[in-house]
Amino acid sequence: MPPLKSLQLSLSSSSLSSITSFVTAGASPRDMQDGDVDVDADVDVEDVPSTYDDDPSSSPTDPSSSPDSDSPCPYRKAKRLPPELKEHCRVYLEESLHQYTLNLLNSLLSSRRHGQRHPAYCPPPSQLSLLNTLIVHPDFTTRPKEHNWPEVAVESLIYLRSILSLFGPINAGFKEATRFIPTSAYSRSSTPGSDIELDDTHDDTRRDADERGLVRLSGRHSDNSIWRKGQDFFCVVGWAFNCSVMYPARWRHWKQWLEFMLELIESDLEERRRLDVESGQDENPHLQESILAGYLNQRSGRTAGGGVKWIVKAIFADGSHASRSIFQEIWNKEHKGMSHTALNKRKREKVNIEKGDFGGWLDNDSVYSSQASEPPTPQKRRTNSGRLDRSDFQALEPTFMESVPLRQRLFSALSYLCFYLSDPPLDLTDLYETFETAVKSQPLPIFAALVSHPTSALRVESQITILRGMTELLVPSSAPSPAKIDRARHDAGGISPRILERCFLPFPANTIAPEDNAKLSLLLENLVQISWSAEEGERFEDLAQAVRKGVEAREAKAKGKKTSARRGARAGAGNGDTAEEEARRVLELSGQRLLALVEVIAEMEEEEEEERGDEMDEDEDEDS
């Protein structure tokens, strides 16, 4: 689900050209839909602990103490669990009675009266950390050790989302609950028979004695939570995106984990930005202590492999050999399904159809029970069988397409953070240039999915910056500079009809490769759509001539390259058609869409002229 654009600027001509229009940064975090969460702005909660985050700079202020605030805190205050309840949860988790824990915690949320303006109970970060691991751990998803553990994973995700929407990222203590611990930061436990450990040893000096490493789940290894096995956030992201190509069964669960983490990161950025604006501090101290900033600082603190390039590699992990060598599986043999021993055990389970006991055969995850091992190589993209007359000349796997908005949302969150910090952990210009280079180098089907304007999860302003940057990399050096045509829009990183008509649309790519010309055509197609859809935007003066000239120039240049039959067979997609022929077909279809778009724009402008003429006639009649 694409993120909501809480800071979306109107697509007016000024918004695409103004220097202050945020065209150099990514999408703002999504606006969390609070549903029936009560906004508590008047209650006195001074005697209630407001957060589990031990960092004072990240503690939210009470909206009731700021009468002049225009944006009160949308979240409730959090109360610590009473010692008895916390002990109950600890024992349940220690004994692997996860369902009892979730039932108890959910009852604390549902017991409040609707509209009651009082703080609610929230579990400690140590327990939230464990529930987060259960969402994706293979022992609870693709190879569950107990028949009800897949249900535990689903209910854990639902509960965490409820906590996030009710208390918010700061009050609930999610920063502490989602902190990754490198291997060198902790000593491995030698206790046998434990697989996932409750990760509450981030800083033992800050923890109560009863919260230190007490909760363990049965298994073969110790210290196996995602926060310790994953090493850092971007290592986990890279492996998750690898699964979107290689292991669909695992991707099903990694997708849910990534969606929740992005919701958390986006809401955390938005809430901390709100606090900084409310306090009037230009240095944005709350934003500096955000969850994402912590992940970036952890990554950049490494002696090697840190920085923008590593992060962009994680965003574009595609299951290739190079990507698999960098971003490896989190848990040992994670991709494997249930073992034959587990299958035989399930077969021996008692089945009583009359009583509705099917021995676990109708569980949601039973469809994966026959997969003792998934293929270790990436899946090939499906191709059309000899039919190049379709626009989707090479259809991507559905699982990869599901990952595209998540990749874009992660980039948006990074650019949002770097835009607002005076000393960001990543250089914003470097981030955009590296991202643009990575998109440009993708195969044509993936490139088309990443630059598509209608389906993009990026802000429009961010799309313009990225599309323009790649267009300037592909057009020949002889093309006029946008700075000479429209200086204001160029300085703002924006786009205008004049820049399109004179600097981009009439030209072919700077190479004779059909793929480069097809990519340039796709970029121009999306830029024209964005520029035309701008409210009160400038009118195109000579769009039809510029488009026709460019379409002819790109098709003529792409025909200049010929490939030998042997090389073409190697480069083919497996159905007798070479990659170059497919690229030429994409170029032809994109050109047809551009010409059709010109006709639509002309018709719309004629209708607008007629409407304005009718309005003027009506005004004259009224005056007379």
Domain ranges of the chain: 78-326, 344-371, 427-623
Q: Please tell me the predicted confidence (pLDDT) of residue 521.
A: 95
More confident residue, 394 or 270: 270
Residues 565, 563, 317, 299, CA torsion sign: positive
Encoding tokens for residue 413?
């969150």
| Burial (0-12, 13-18, 19+ Cβ within 10 Å), 244 | buried
Q: Please tell me the predicted confidence (pLDDT) of residue 62.
A: 37
Mean pLDDT is highest, among 370-374, 444-448, 576-580, for: 444-448
Residue 176 pLDDT > 80: yes
Q: Please tell me the predicted confidence (pLDDT) of residue 622.
A: 65
What is the rounded average pLDDT of the residues 547-555?
93
Query: What are the helix (H) ranges across 248-397?
Result: 248-279, 285-288, 291-300, 308-315, 321-326, 340-348
What is the tens place of the pLDDT at every residue in 406-425?
999 999 999 999 999 989 99
What is the tens place of the pLDDT at every residue in 346-355?
545 565 655 5
Tell me how far apart the alpha carbons of residues 443 and 304 are, in angstroms, rounded to a whole number: 28
Cα atoms in the Cβ-side hemisphere of radius 13 Å centred on 268: 31
Angle among Cα 46, 48, 50 to the nearest 5 degrees reads: 95
**DSSP for 41-77, written as a single string:** SS---TTS---S---GGGPPPPGGG-TT-SS---S--
Determine how many CB atoms are found less than 10 A away from the CB of residue 620. Answer: 9
Among residues 199, 198, 188, the alpha carbon closest in space to that of 222 is found at: 188
Where does the pLDDT of residue 607 fall: very low under 50, low under 70, confident under 90, or very high at 90 and above? confident
Q: Please tell me the predicted confidence (pLDDT) of residue 260.
A: 97
What is the rounded average pLDDT of the residues 303-318?
81
Q: Please tell me the predicted confidence (pLDDT) of residue 98.
A: 86
What is the tens place of the pLDDT at every residue in 109-148?
876 554 446 788 899 999 999 999 999 999 899 888 888 8
- The chain-wide mean pLDDT, for the chain, equals 74
Q: Please tell me the predicted confidence (pLDDT) of residue 195.
A: 43
Residue 224 pLDDT > 90: no
- Express as a percent the part of the chain with pLDDT over 90: 40
What is the tens place of the pLDDT at every residue in 33-58?
333 333 333 333 333 333 443 333 33
Where does the pLDDT of residue 587 fall: very low under 50, low under 70, confident under 90, or very high at 90 and above? very high
Among residues 558, 574, 586, the alpha carbon closest in space to that of 392 is found at: 586
Residue 182 pLDDT > 50: yes
- Residue 503 carries which DSSP code? I
Residue 104 pLDDT > 80: yes
